[in-house]
Structure 1
Amino acid sequence: MPDYDAAKLSGISDLKGSEKYLIRNKAEIRNQLISLARKPDIITAYFNEGKRYMLTAVLGTIDDRGLVVLDFGPDDATTKQAIASGRLVCTAKHDGVPIRFSCENLKSARFQSLPAIAAPLPKSMHRLQRREFFRVTTPKLSGPRCEIPVPEGSLPHQLTILNISIGGAGMVDTSGRLHTQVLERFEGCRLFLPDHEVLEIDLIIRNNWTETTSNGELLSRYGISFEGLTVNDNAELQRYIFHLQILDPQ
């Protein structure tokens, strides 16, 4: 049975609906649902346009009828309201990787003699790729850096890249000049990767915080996602990350 007592809510906007994470292959969607059912992973299912939610889990699929079966959940009243809404936006993290899919035409059902929710298999699913989720630590000496342009001809912001993945990076601004907020977008930024091509991309701030070093210095830290990577840029970034993994396989 799902362990709802230890459940943590999954955010409805973890993937931001990006097309590059979209799965449409029916067999792949089914396999992912079966993977969610094995543990099972707790799902946060939002309804009423995201204003309400319930906790549930994938119990399995009924292949000959093209259905996915969800657990009825720990709160009968909330589950009945969710079914009446007609649509659930389901979010979960499988092995730490965010997943999101929608279920429509919801019906009360029974599965293995227990109350459940049945719905047609989702037509699509958003799933972050592992290679875009896990970041590689960069060298402390001669490591990569990021240059964020500043309007009106001022000197650009120079940020040190602490870790990097295909999807984003963790950066630090030692100068403290950059003042920004979550979800702010910066266009025309440049990534300087040692011994590799300079990449021009857009950045979106996903989180920021300040930390104090052992000598009392304040550092501004940022978690960012990459946007607008061309196919060639993506390949160049993958080559750089592969190079880092060879240098430090840990």
Structure 2
Amino acid sequence: MSQLAQLSEAEIEERFHIPSRTAIQFMLAGFVRERESFSVQFGVNRDTFQTLLLAVQPDKDRLIFDCSGSQETNRRLLDSEQLSFAAHPGGILVHFSTGPAIDVNFEGARAFAVKLPKVLVRLQRREHFRIETPRVRPLEFFARLADGALFNSPVHDISVAGIGLSANNVPDSFAVGVVLPNCRFALPEEASDLFCAATLRNITELEGRAGLRLFRIGLQFNDLPTADANRIQRYIARLEHERRDLA
């Protein structure tokens, strides 16, 4: 059995979580310096916008970040009890959660402030290993579209960063950059479905057997909770173990 398959959820969290206050401050300060773009997600509707981290203020136990250009979006953010930040510096997924934000003035302009996160999660490139899912009894992915229609498609491959679909057709509303806020799929041997938001990253048309059209659709998970990322990690480890046993 692979090392990953033998890890408990607590061990996975210990491996990927950065709980050190000093290390968190150092990493966030680096993102400020490099002007790394973060997505911030909030509210019951999982509103999202891109932001920049502006300053780390350890003496005030707070992180300053830029506000949205939309006043309505800013209002909804200030009404939210929890915020989730994510970025991919150098292809490495970094995410953290905070409590509510407050309005502040930073260097003469409006900005937001939150308390410094207690934990920062960093998943290395090697942990984004993408594995093809079984063709027999494939995983099924479901997404609610903006017009209320339900889209579903078999899953082709999966990683903790995203999921690939194989579809015979693509809804008219699909385009690179479109966010699907209400998605779900089930993992074998899991008691509950996994719910997430995802962004369309690529759509590729292929020629299938007998000239049939086939589309590969790549989706990136948006701020996937750590517990759900751990569930996917365990599923990938099980597949690897089963395939090695059959080899």
Please list, as runs of the form range in 1=range in 2, the aligned pairs for 1:1-250 lying within 5 A after superposition: 19=13, 20-133=15-128, 168-171=129-132, 178-181=136-139, 206-209=163-166, 212=207, 226-227=233-234
- Give the Cα separation in 2 of the matches to 1:74 and 1:116: 11
Query: Stretches of 4+ moved more than 6 A in 1?
Result: 216-221
Mark the CA change 1:218 to 1:106 in structure 2 (over 3 Å): closer, same or farther.
closer
**What is the identity, as a one-letter code, of the residue corresponding to 2:139?**
Q
TM-aligned CA deviation for residue 54 of structure 1: 3.0
**What is the identity, as a one-letter code, of the residue corresponding to 2:98?**
C
- Equivalent pair of 2:131/2:158 in contact (CA under 8 Å): no
Structure 1 unaligned residues grouped into runs of 5+: 1-17, 134-167, 184-202, 234-250
- Equivalent pair of 1:172/1:219 in contact (CA under 8 Å): no
- Give the Cα separation in 1 of the matches to 2:81 and 2:121: 20
Partner of 1:136: none
TM-aligned CA deviation for residue 69 of structure 1: 0.5
Mark the CA change 1:169 to 1:52 in structure 2 (over 3 Å): closer, same or farther.
closer
**What is the identity, as a one-letter code, of the residue corresponding to 1:209?**
S
Mark the CA change 1:212 to 1:25 in structure 2 (over 3 Å): closer, same or farther.
farther
- Equivalent pair of 1:204/1:226 in contact (CA under 8 Å): no
TM-aligned CA deviation for residue 82 of structure 1: 0.5
- Larger CA Rg, structure 1 vs 2: 1
- Secondary structure, in 3 states, of the residue corresponding to 2:79? helix
- Equivalent pair of 1:204/1:227 in contact (CA under 8 Å): no
TM-aligned CA deviation for residue 46 of structure 1: 1.5
- Secondary structure, in 3 states, of the residue corresponding to 1:85? coil
Percentage of pairs with the same residue: 23
Deviation by residue 1:57-88 (Cα, 9 ceiling, x = unmatched): 21110121121101122223311221122321
Mark the CA change 1:170 to 1:105 in structure 2 (over 3 Å): closer, same or farther.
closer
- Secondary structure, in 3 states, of the residue corresponding to 1:35? helix
Aligned alpha-carbon RMSD (Å): 3.9
- Secondary structure, in 3 states, of the residue corresponding to 2:88? strand
- Give the Cα separation in 1 of the matches to 2:38 and 2:29: 13
- Give the Cα separation in 1 of the matches to 2:67 and 2:119: 22
- Equivalent pair of 2:130/2:158 in contact (CA under 8 Å): no
TM-aligned CA deviation for residue 89 of structure 1: 1.3
| Larger RCO, structure (CA 8 Å, separation 6 or more) | 2
- Equivalent pair of 1:98/1:128 in contact (CA under 8 Å): yes
Structure with the largest fraction of helix: 2
Partner of 2:170: none
TM-aligned CA deviation for residue 182 of structure 1: 5.0
- Give the Cα separation in 2 of the matches to 1:172 and 1:204: 7
Deviation by residue 1:105-142 (Cα, 9 ceiling, x = unmatched): 42111122221111110011222113323xxxxxxxxx
- Give the Cα separation in 1 of the matches to 2:215 and 2:114: 46
